[in-house]
């Protein structure tokens, strides 16, 4: 037996290939959008992929389960509660299947979603691992607030939180302490709020160290779980539906994105997502463009700022980055929305002025200060007295609320978000003087009440 964990750092996503060495067969769990790494794994081990299991219809990434099944003949296994639109076999509690000396057994573990599964892997009658999807993470548990309106089976967050309490305690924690825990996400995922950076754990280690598994009443668990959950990106509901239906093949979808010449005219009224470094963007960019810089979380912020039905142009600094960004957009199912991808800047019609940080430090009252961090960050780590809190995911819709009688300074915690935020405020308020505090924010100590 061999368990291979695949990590997508941008989405903090873990997927798995489980190989039966005697049968030369592979089972995949929660594969990412690009199927090639799984094909490579099977080929390297002279094995064939025979099944793909989805622990639930994912909100934060697009799965390649349907593409893999069509290419290999593998059986897709999902809970009957998912209501999948593609050909599949239902896989629910009481059901199992074998692969050589391995047995895969389904547990229905609702809570993160009503249709969540955990998969117990046994070898020669002994449970050795459990693939927990978004039910149990290392150091945290799944959020219960993503399926109030998405998917074929919906439920209020309070009800899902109660279900999660019982799924954890009556299902997962009854497994042996030495059973390995393999979750679908790690630190940085928006599917939980305090995930560890570790890729795996054990049931025993989680009993001892996971704060959500300590002795809590159901009421206290629900209250604590629902407090200060991260924002829900715009694309999450879209991806639940796309995964329920099955996504189109990855490589052809990426290839169909139009690649435009550097100075190609852009259609008026279509959003421009400019992923170049902030310094280049501020020197000149298309009027109304938003600066979502290429970086480790590009796809998350793209899907948080741009709606799932909204067409956009994509601008990159060079050709290699352009291809990388298109692939990142495809990971969340946004490749079909790209009206054209180009290198460099189209005819630059706008600039963002540079903030005089020394002057701002001395006379901060002369500016309207906009904190685009989350409400929890704004509350727990105050930076500027009297600042207005408009979290970045809400900023496009709320920028018009800002007063324009003074220059507007936008800040976050480190500079990445404020580059996007300042560009969004400037696009919404073209007559205002908009400035980005950028990385200089780090020189202002938290709690000083400037």
The pLDDT value recorded for residue 150 is: 66
Residue with tokens 């509690």: 93
Token output for 114: 């009503």
Q: How distant, in Å, are the alpha carbons of 225, 264, 345 from that of 325?
A: 34, 19, 16
Give CATH superfamily name and number for 248-343.
Rhodanese-like domain (3.40.250.10)
Residue with tokens 């489980």: 18
Surface-to-core class of residue 40, CB atoms within 10 Å of its CB (0-12 exposed, 13-18 middle, 19+ buried): exposed
Domain range list for the chain = 2-238, 248-343, 357-443
pLDDT higher than 70, residue 448: no
- pTM for the predicted model, two decimal places: 0.94
Give domain 357-443's CATH architecture. 3-Layer(aba) Sandwich (3.40)
**Full DSSP string of 340-377:** EEEES-SS--B--PPP-HHHHHH-GGGSEEEE-S-HHH
Please check whether the two domains, 248-343 and 357-443, share a CATH topology: yes
Whether the Cβ atoms of residue 292 and residue 420 lie closer than 8 Å to each other: yes
422: pLDDT confidence band, cut at 50, 70 and 90?
very high
Percent of all residues in the chain with a pLDDT value above 90, rounded to a whole number: 88
DSSP H helical ranges for 267-343: 278-283, 298-305, 319-331
Average pLDDT score over residue span 297-314: 96
Whether the Cβ atoms of residue 326 and residue 231 lie closer than 8 Å to each other: no
Would residue 94 be called left, alpha or beta, if left means φ above 0 and alpha means ψ between -120 and 50 degrees? left
The pLDDT value recorded for residue 229 is: 85
Which residues, 6+ apart, have CB-to-CB distance to 167 below 8 Å? 108, 109, 110, 111, 116, 118, 135
DSSP H helical ranges for 50-150: 65-72
The pLDDT value recorded for residue 152 is: 58
The pLDDT value recorded for residue 189 is: 76
The pLDDT value recorded for residue 193 is: 65
Whether the Cβ atoms of residue 74 and residue 53 lie closer than 8 Å to each other: no
Q: What is the pLDDT of residues 252-301, one digit of tens each?
A: 999 999 999 988 889 999 999 999 999 999 999 999 999 999 988 999 99
Fold classification of 2-238 is Metallo-beta-lactamase; Chain A (3.60.15)
Which residues, 6+ apart, have CB-to-CB distance to 347 below 8 Å? 263, 286
């Amino acid at each position: 037996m061999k368990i291979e964990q695949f990590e997508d750092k941008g989405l903090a996503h873990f997927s798995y290939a489980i190989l039966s060495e005697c049968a030369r067969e592979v089972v995949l769990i929660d594969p990412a959008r690009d199927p090639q790494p799984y094909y490579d794994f099977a080929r390297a081990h002279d094995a064939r992929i025979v099944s793909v299991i989805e622990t639930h219809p994912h909100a934060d990434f697009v799965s390649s389960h349907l593409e893999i099944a069509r290419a290999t003949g593998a059986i897709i296994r999902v809970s009957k509660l998912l209501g999948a639109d593609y050909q599949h076999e239902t896989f629910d509690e009481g059901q199992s299947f074998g692969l050589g000396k391995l047995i895969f057994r389904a547990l229905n573990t609702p809570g993160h979603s009503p249709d969540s599964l955990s998969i117990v892997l046994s070898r020669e009658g002994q449970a050795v691992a459990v693939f927990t999807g978004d039910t149990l993470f290392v150091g945290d548990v799944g959020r219960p607030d993503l399926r109030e309106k998405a998917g074929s089976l919906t439920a209020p967050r309070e009800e899902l939180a109660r279900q999660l309490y019982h799924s954890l305690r009556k299902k997962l924690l009854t497994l042996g302490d030495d059973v390995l825990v393999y979750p679908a996400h790690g630190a940085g995922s928006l599917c939980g709020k305090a995930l560890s950076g570790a890729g795996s754990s054990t049931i025993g280690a989680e009993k001892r160290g996971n704060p959500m598994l300590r002795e809590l009443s159901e009421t206290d668990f629900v209250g604590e779980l629902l407090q200060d959950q991260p924002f829900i990106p715009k694309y999450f509901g879209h991806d639940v539906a796309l995964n329920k239906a099955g996504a189109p093949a990855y490589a052809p979808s990426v290839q169909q994105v139009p690649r435009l010449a550097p100075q190609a005219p852009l259609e008026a009224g279509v959003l421009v997502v400019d992923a170049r470094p902030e310094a280049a963007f501020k020197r000149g960019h298309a009027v109304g463009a938003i600066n979502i810089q290429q970086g480790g979380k590009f796809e998350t912020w793209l899907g948080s700022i741009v709606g799932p039905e909204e067409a956009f142009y994509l601008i990159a600094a060079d050709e290699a980055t352009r291809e990388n960004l298109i692939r990142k957009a495809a990971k969340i199912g946004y490749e079909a929305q790209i009206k054209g991808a180009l290198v460099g800047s189209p005819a630059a019609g706008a600039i963002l002025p540079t903030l005089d940080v020394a002057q701002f430090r001395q006379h901060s009252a002369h500016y309207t200060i906009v904190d685009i961090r989350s409400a929890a960050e704004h509350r727990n780590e105050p930076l500027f007295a009297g600042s207005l809190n408009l979290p970045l995911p809400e900023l496009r819709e709320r920028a018009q609320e800002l007063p324009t009688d003074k220059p507007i300074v936008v800040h976050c915690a480190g500079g990445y978000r404020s580059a996007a935020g300042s560009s969004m405020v400037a696009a919404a308020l073209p007559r205002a003087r908009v400035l980005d505090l950028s990385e200089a924010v780090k020189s202002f100590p938290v709690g000083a009440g400037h």
